[in-house]
Structure 1
Amino acid sequence: MMLKLTEFAPQESPSDDVVTLPYDARQKSRLLSKTDSGIKIGMSLPRGQVLRQGFVLTGSDHFRVRINAAPEALSIVRTEDALQFARACYHLGNRHVALQILPGELRFLTDHVLDQMLVGLGLTVTHDVLPFEPEHGAYHGHGH
């Protein structure tokens, strides 16, 4: 048996299970997966949505599944220099890189070419495995 998840439930809804997905999978509108407890699920959602940490999905059977962001290999740049920070954001954004922007810190999916570009700008790049929650796109609707 497979649960079909077709709509968003209010985020404050309690969940019956959790599915942990990497960023790439959270961008898909159609996806087959398993919850963390092993239940098969099929997602069929409106196109253009990115599933964010904490979103709750449901279907006609009202079973609710909370989205969890999976830990992924990330490149991390930290600087208190506002000009360096802005330059790094500019160059990564110009390449349409999904960025998680935090105070004085940028995170993106590890890419050694991008790492070298940032080192060339005078920044230090470190690596870690963490959940990845990039910025929402400026032109995407978020109706839930």
Structure 2
Amino acid sequence: MTTLRTTRFARANFVLEKPFTSINLEAQERHLRRKLLVLEDGTELLVDFEKTAKLEDGDCFVLDDGRLVQIAAQEEDLLEVRGANQTHLAKLAWHIGNRHLEAQIERHRILIRLDHVIAKMLEGQGAMVKPVREKFSPENGAYAHAH
């Protein structure tokens, strides 16, 4: 069996041609430098980037032969965190950040990985917390450029 190879990727907004296939990856799986992935049909894909990259839903691997493999963000089990108002939500974000947790910050809510201990802590701060299953695209950390 032939292993496909990629050393580069294209951001979703720069993809002009139709990908020949796609692959579903969770948020942590989309943060990579060198890894062997398996496509839906069983074909292996060696990702061999020069530097670590954080890929998003819709981005594409550019194969050595020029074909594209689209990356689809896979739904994950998460916690949705809501506050009483914007100030309260900002305080909840501080508590999440203080624990160095990955978070997807939106206007009226924050998504974090499922963690019952953190859920109880946030509820103790007055947060409304509920489990959800959605695509997860956490913010890059302040030191993301160093990894």
Secondary structure of the corresponding residue to residue 8 of structure 1: strand
Amino acid of the structure 2 residue aligned with 1:83: T
Show the counterpart of 2:116.
112
Is the 2:83–2:92 contact (alpha carbons within 8 Å) kept by the matching residues of 1? no
Structure 2 stretches lacking a partner, 5+ long: none
CA deviation vs aligned residue, 1:110-130 (integer Å, no higher than 9, x gap)? 011111110010111100111
Is the 1:48–1:140 contact (alpha carbons within 8 Å) kept by the matching residues of 2? no
Q: Greater strand percent: which structure?
A: 2
TM-score (ref. length: structure 2): 0.87
Secondary structure of the corresponding residue to residue 92 of structure 1: helix
Is the 1:80–1:104 contact (alpha carbons within 8 Å) kept by the matching residues of 2? no
Amino acid of the structure 1 residue aligned with 2:9: F
Show the counterpart of 2:102.
98
Change (3 A) 1:139 1:64: same
Amino acid of the structure 2 residue aligned with 1:9: A
| Structural RMSD (CA) | 1.7
Deviation at 1:28, TM superposition (A): 2.0
Out of 63, 79, 82, the position equivalent to 1:78 is 82
Greater than 4 Å deviation, 4+ residue runs: none
Show the counterpart of 1:87.
91
Structure 1 stretches lacking a partner, 5+ long: none
Show the counterpart of 2:126.
122
TM-score (ref. length: structure 1): 0.88
